[in-house]
Structure 1
Amino acid sequence: MIRAFVISAMLAVPAHASAGASEAIATFNAVCFKAGQTVAQARARMEARDGAPLPYTLTFWDKSLEPAPETPARIERRCEVSFDGDHTEVAIAALRAQMATPPVFGTFIDLPDTHAPLTGTALIEGRALLRGRVAVVHVGTRDSQTFMTVDRLPADWEDG
Structure 2
Amino acid sequence: MGRAPCDCARYLLYVEAFREPIRQEHQDVSVLELTLHLSADIGLVRDKFIEFAKEESNVIEHHKLLCYVTGQTGTAQTVSCYLMTSDPLSGWAAEMNVREKLMTFIRDNYPEWWPREIVVISHHDIARGEQAKRPEEGDSIEVKPSE
Q: Which has the higher helix share?
A: 2
TM-score by length of 2: 0.25
Q: Name the larger-Rg structure.
A: 2
Q: Which has the higher strand share?
A: 1
TM-score by length of 1: 0.24
